[in-house]
Amino acid sequence: MAVACVLPFFLSNYHVFQASMVLSTAIALVGLNILTGYSGQISLGHGAFLAIGAYTTAILMDKFDVPYWATIPVAGLVCLVAGFLFGLPALKLEGHYLALATFALAVALPQLLKFRYLEPWTGGVQGIVIMKPDPPISSFMGLTLNSDRWLYFVALLVAALMYLVAWNLLRGRIGRALIAIRDQPTAAALMGIDTSLYKSLAFGVSALFTGVAGSLSAILVAFVAPDSFTVFLSITLMVGMVVGGLTSLPGALYGAAFVQFIPNLADQISKAAPWAIYGALLIVLMIVLPGGIAGGLNLLWSKVTNRTGALQ
Amino acid sequence: METFIHQIVAGIATGGVYASLALALVMIYQSTHHINFAQGEIAMFATYLAWTLINAGFPYWVAFFGTVILAFALGVLIQRVIIRPVENAPVLNVVVVFIGLLVILNSLAGWIFTYTIKSFPSPFPKEPPFGLSFISSHELGSIGVTIVLLVMLYSFFRFTPLGLAMRAAAQNPDSSRLVGIRVGWMLALGWGLAAVLGSIAGMMIAPIVFLEPNMMSGVLLYAFAAALVGGIDSPGGAVLGGFLVGILENLLGAYVIGTELKLSVALVLIVTVLTIRPAGLFGKVIVTRV
Amino acid sequence: MKKRHMIIGSVALLSATLLTPVLAQKKYDPGASDTEIKIGQTMPYSGPASAYGTIGKVQAAYFKQLNEQGGINGRKINFISLDDGYSPPKTVEMVRKLVEQEEVLVLLGTLGTPSNTAIHKYVNTKKVPHMFLATGASKWNDPKGHPWTIGFNPNYNSEGRLYGQEIVRTKPNAKIAVLFQNDDYGKDYYSGFKDGLGDKAKSMIVAEASYEVTDPTIDSQIVTLKGSGADTFFNITTPKFAAQAIRKVDDIGWKPTHYLNNVSASVGSVLKPAGLEKSVGLISMLYIKEGSDKRWDTDPTMNDFKALIKKYAPEVNPDDGNATYGYAVSQLMAHVLKQAGDNLTRENIMKIAASLKDHQIPMALPGVLANTAADDFALFQTMQLVRFDGSIWVPFGKPQSVR
């Protein structure tokens, strides 16, 4: 954590920007993990909640002059409601069918954002350009704070907060209920857990997290447009979550870093077919590290600690 | 009224496109219980192989059957090399592998063949059938091919011992092994056959939409919807689903909501259908025991 | 007499001492040096718009060849083109990398309206020349608000207006159907078109239909449009869908006066796949030479171009409109850089780009001249209507001025 705090002063503004994006994606992945990892519900449409969160922030900032930090909780709340409402009917579906319904959501949302009657609000195909916020104080203890660095700290704070919320949630009764629903849904129902309520709640909460992430990303990029939220984004989220490690909160960070940096790396390796490299890497990772990066690290850690234990 | 019939027929034509890919999706599901997101890209890649053969001078039907054989080999290869290592992994890991495969095939096709559209020949005559102007001979022919494949697929799974073995291997691999079924090869066979179906779908679709690496991405969504709405384990349902989706898409766009909200309405419809009949229109309802 | 000699002598000496330093002065902004000039670009090499990646490939080949021939004023061009997958957040990330990490001198030909909108404010704040954008949106011509951005493509809005005005002139009782891609580009064309029709727009347009880039086909839309009884058709589609539309229109026996947007007017990559016989009678606008046009068989620029891609980018089809377009843009960039000489500051480069006078880009159609001024950054002031005769686009009428 201490490393995270001093990082922006050692990196160029561009890298700070990238780091902030990773933090924002990590929040979304935590949200997705709550839904998929812990409650076992698949969603191929979480990009839609990134979009709703981002657009909420953009519209509030652009049309209503709401300060950027105030839009973040609003975006979260809007997505909580949207997620819950979508979850109510959708979560009657299982497995593939839920995947299809969420996939359809991801596909339909960009078109909805472009709809001409919503254009006065959403900016239609042109999107909305936001003003990048300036830091409230230009320096702190002798270190200069520019816009990028300030936003990094905002992202860090929000990420830490959301992480704590998730950790608390999953540790307690709700977390146990979700895991029960995931592993043995019929038994859970028999034990008196209102499965559909919990599942819809899980969906809503995961949407909340993703909405917050979307809101942050809108502030960072300072622009929202329907083209930013394609189906591929939803798929990328899911890939990030699995690669990072299901049911692992640190996994969200690894997964976010993966989807942010690996495509750039692949581009440097092969200009001709960078996505082929990316795809190959995905497949290799899944074969070699079925528990994702977090799973792999856990395995490594246990091997190391076992070995030191045996040495005694 | 005439336009209405045009729209229905046009819908059946595009529906045929969805139905053919949906059939490949069902094939892979029935033999492996996985929905292969990379199916569209395998089909696209196979079609490029066909294009290469045709460009090299081979007559259409030689290229067609050559591609079918190559596609089968490709499918089997993918299963043996890429899918087998993650066979027992959680569903999501397998999904990520599919996505990796999708991305690899798409990227390779773009690299080798470039992204410019190419026209792909049709084996059917150029003149419209019976003088009708709103459906081409090719579209009608493709629908015919899809239906023939459907019948073949259905009979294969229902009436042949091999088909039974494949279904068993997918549904209950452990018990199947106990009765002597070579589960590994059943899965490979399933992939091979699905690739074949996909390649035929691609060769039927390409003349309509033009061959390019992203040709199947739009189709995949609708095929996915069609397969699920029709029932993922019912080939007939999937094909019917394909036609339904095609007709509905056209009618919605033309009469109900205009083309600007087509997808949102489709979404609402899908969710509604699945809420009423969670296993799809013709699928089997799965009962889970605790 | 001695005084006169003294005066002349001192004047000569003075001018010599004053002029020489000015002539020998080299001025560099980040990205320029004695040996190299760095040019940055984002291009969709992957994703739904990847067909446009050809543009970047041709440009990379152009600069590579230029380097082998000695570069520009002795400096090599370091052309860094990054993939943004047509996703605005990715564009922002890549452009920040180019500007802040790679420290390029200028950005060239960044593609896509949403992608460029995302970085519009950033590059102008950072004062990095944002040059010759690969998009025809009208908002790039804004010297007052965004003095560092200069477009290239003739304005979509103006082109639409051109067709609208042409219809009012030649077929005032036309019943028009419009097919448009549901995004910035499609809507820009459509709104210009409606402006061109003026008050009669509402009464003349009897049907419209849109499609998404993710749609597999637009056959259903064509059927709907034909059913409206329209006798004129404005086709605002990108290459793949344009080919589908041209073919379908012919297949269902609809014979409207068919206006096709310039973006999809390439004979090689659109009309040929659709069917040359089916494309007879199409009306469009052209400003760049086409590879398949026999008129240019002996044209030195065309031959240079074909030799270039044969050697450096053999997978590119010379008939692809994107390829000749990319070539034209790189020619203009090379011209501007050459004019800058040793004064490679961003300010100077923008100044040169904003003061083009009747400049004939070799790959542009003869007579289509580039003209810019401090208050008007639109490169091409006139547009030429063309009609397809089955093998080439034939100009008709005079080039019309568009504002």
Range with the largest mean pLDDT of A128-137, B72-81, C136-145: B72-81
Nearest CA among A154, A155, A135 for reference residue A145: A135
Residue A34 lies in a domain: yes
How far apart (Å, rounded) are the C-alpha atoms in residues B139 and B17?
A: 9
Q: Max CA-CA distance within chain C? A: 95
Model confidence over B181-226: pLDDT tens digits? 888 888 898 899 999 999 999 998 898 888 988 888 778 878 888 8
Per the model's pLDDT, the better-predicted residue between A125 and C31 turns out to be C31
pLDDT for the residue numbered C77:
95
Whether the per-residue pLDDT at C375 is higher than 50: the answer is yes
Crossing angle, helix A13-33 and helix A147-171, to 10 degrees?
Answer: 20
How many angstroms separate the CA of residue A282 from the nearest CA in chain B? 6
CA distance A34 to chain C (A): 26
The answer on pLDDT for C63 being more than 90 is yes
The values of phi and psi at residue C42, to 5°, are: -115, 140
**Min Cα separation B94/chain A (Å):** 8
CB nearest B93 (choices: A185, A231, A290)? A290
Within C51-149, where are the H helices? 53-68, 88-96, 113-126
Looking at residues C347-373, what average pLDDT do you find?
A: 91
C-alpha to C-alpha distance for B187 and B232, rounded to whole angstroms: 17
Q: Return the sign of the alpha-carbon dihedral for residues C312, C316, C321, C325.
A: negative
- Please report whether residue A83 resides in a domain: yes
Distance of CA C296 to the CA centre of its chain: 20
Amino acid A141: pLDDT: 67
Q: Which DSSP string corresponds to C58-85?
A: HHHHHHHHHHHTT-BTTBEEEEEEEE-T
Best residue of A227, A229, A234, A235 to probe chain C, by most C CBs closer than 10 Å: A227
Which positions in chain C touch B218 (Cβ < 8 Å)? 214-216
Q: What is the pTM of this model?
A: 0.86
Instruction: Please check whether residue C71 touches A, CB under 8 A.
Output: no
Tokens of C229: 């009884």
| C-alpha torsion A36→A40→A45→A51, nearest 10 | -40
Render each residue's pLDDT in chain A as its tens digit; 312 residues: 667 777 777 788 888 899 999 999 999 999 998 888 777 788 888 999 999 999 999 999 888 888 888 889 999 999 999 998 888 877 777 777 788 788 888 888 888 888 877 888 888 777 888 888 777 776 666 667 778 888 888 888 898 888 888 888 888 877 777 777 777 777 777 777 677 787 888 889 999 999 999 999 999 998 998 888 888 899 899 899 988 888 777 888 999 999 999 988 888 887 778 888 888 988 998 888 888 888 888 888 888 887 655 544
A129 CB within 8 Å of a chain C CB? yes
| β-strand partners of C169 | none
- The answer to whether residue A281 is domain-embedded is no
Beta bridge partners of C364: C288
Per-residue pLDDT at C23 exceeds 50: no
Cα nearest neighbour of B89 on chain A: A290
- Distances from the Cα of A54 to the Cαs of A18, A24, A57, A221, C352, in angstroms? 18, 11, 5, 10, 40
Higher pLDDT, C145 or A231: C145
Nearest to C224 among B2, B219, B254 (CB): B254
CA distance A157 to A151: 10
User: Is B260–C210 a contact, with Cβ atoms under 8 angstroms apart?
Assistant: yes
Task: Give the three-class secondary structure for C380.
Answer: strand
- Which pair of tokens denotes residue C86? 């047509």
Angstrom distance (rounded) from CA B42 to CA B65? 16
- B174 touching chain C per CB within 8 A: no
Average pLDDT over chain C reads 88
Q: Say how far apart CA A247 and CA A33 lie, in whole Å.
A: 6
Q: Is residue A286 part of a domain?
A: no
User: How confident is the model over B253-269, as a mean pLDDT?
Assistant: 71
How far is residue A143's CA from residue C301's CA, in Å, rounded to a whole number? 56
Amino acid identity at C2? K
User: Residue B212: phi, psi to the nearest 5?
Assistant: -160, 160
CA distances from B120 to B203, B204, C274 (A): 8, 9, 11
* d(C-alpha C50, C-alpha C125), whole Å: 29
Q: Give backbone dihedrals phi and psi of A82, rounded to 5 degrees, phi first.
A: -60, -45
Cα separation, A167 vs A252, in Å, equals: 12
Q: Which residue of C has its CA nearest to B11?
A: C220
SS3 B175: helix
Q: Is C191 on the interface with A (CB under 8 A)?
A: no
Distance separating alpha carbons of residues B115 and A273, to the nearest angstrom: 12
- For A190-204, B38-52, C39-53, which range has the lowest pLDDT when averaged over its residues? A190-204
Please say whether the beta carbons of B53 and B86 come within 8 A.
Answer: no
Residue A210: inside a domain:
yes
Is A129 in Cβ contact with C120 (below 8 Å)? Answer: yes
Question: For the complex shown, is ipTM > 0.95?
Answer: no
**Domain-located, residue A178:** yes
Total domains present in chain A: 1
CB-CB neighbors (< 8 A) of B108 in chain A: 273, 276
SS3 content of chain C, % helix, strand, coil (to 5): 45, 20, 35
Query: For residue A305, is it within any domain?
Result: no
What is the predicted pLDDT for the residue at C22? 45
Cβ-based contacts of B8 with chain C (< 8 Å) = none
What lies within 8 Å, CB to CB, of C324 at 6+ separation is C288, C289, C290, C291, C305, C318, C363
List of residues 6+ apart from C60 with CB closer than 8 A = C79, C81, C313
What pLDDT sits at residue C21?
A: 45
∠ CA C132-C318-C370 to the nearest 5 degrees?
A: 30
pLDDT band at C191 (very low <50, low <70, confident <90, very high): very high
State the first-to-last Cα distance of chain B, in angstroms, to the nearest integer. 54
Q: Can you tell me the distance from the alpha carbon of C41 to that of C53, in angstroms, rounded to the nearest whole number?
A: 11
Helix or strand run (H / E) with residue A242: helix A231-244
Residue percentage of chain C with pLDDT more than 90:
58
Exposed (0-12), middle (13-18) or buried (19+): which is C306, by Cβ within 10 Å?
middle
pLDDT tens for each residue of C320-341: 889 999 999 999 999 999 999 8
Domain enclosing residue A194, as ranges: 2-250
Distance of alpha carbon C155 from alpha carbon C161, whole angstroms: 10
pLDDT digits (tens, 9 = 90+) for B129-164: 776 666 778 888 888 888 898 888 888 888 888 888
Cα(C388)–Cα(C396) distance, rounded to whole angstroms? 10
Neighbours of chain A (3+ CB pairs under 8 A): B, C
Q: Does residue C124 surpass a pLDDT of 90?
A: yes
d(CA C248, CA C389): 19
Tell me, yes or no, if C219 comes closer than 8 A to chain A by beta carbon: no
Higher-pLDDT residue of A139, C8: A139
* Cα–Cα separations (whole angstroms), residue B42 to B54, B220, B286, C45, C160: 18, 11, 29, 21, 40
Q: Is C110 helix (H, G, I), strand (E, B) or coil?
A: coil
Q: Tell me, what amino acid is at A11?
A: L
Up-side HSE of residue A33: CA atoms within 13 Å toward CB?
Answer: 32
Measure the CA–CA gap between B219 and B140, rounded to whole angstroms.
Answer: 18
Interface A:B, Cβ pairs < 8 A: 135
Q: Is A274 in Cβ contact with C83 (below 8 Å)?
A: yes
H-helix segments, chain B: 2-32, 39-55, 60-78, 91-113, 137-159, 161-171, 173-178, 183-209, 215-230, 235-251, 262-276
Q: How far is C302 from chain A (nearest CA, A)?
A: 26
The helix (run of H) or strand (run of E) holding residue A267 is helix A249-269
- In chain C, the residue whose alpha carbon lies closest to the alpha carbon of B250 is C220
Tens digits of residue pLDDT in C258-270:
999 998 998 888 9
Spatial distance between the Cα atoms of B119 and B47, rounded to a whole number of angstroms: 11
Flag whether A40 is in a domain.
yes
What tokens does A216 get? 């942050």
Of A190, A273, A286, the CB nearest to B96: A286
Asked if residue C8 has pLDDT above 80, the reply is no
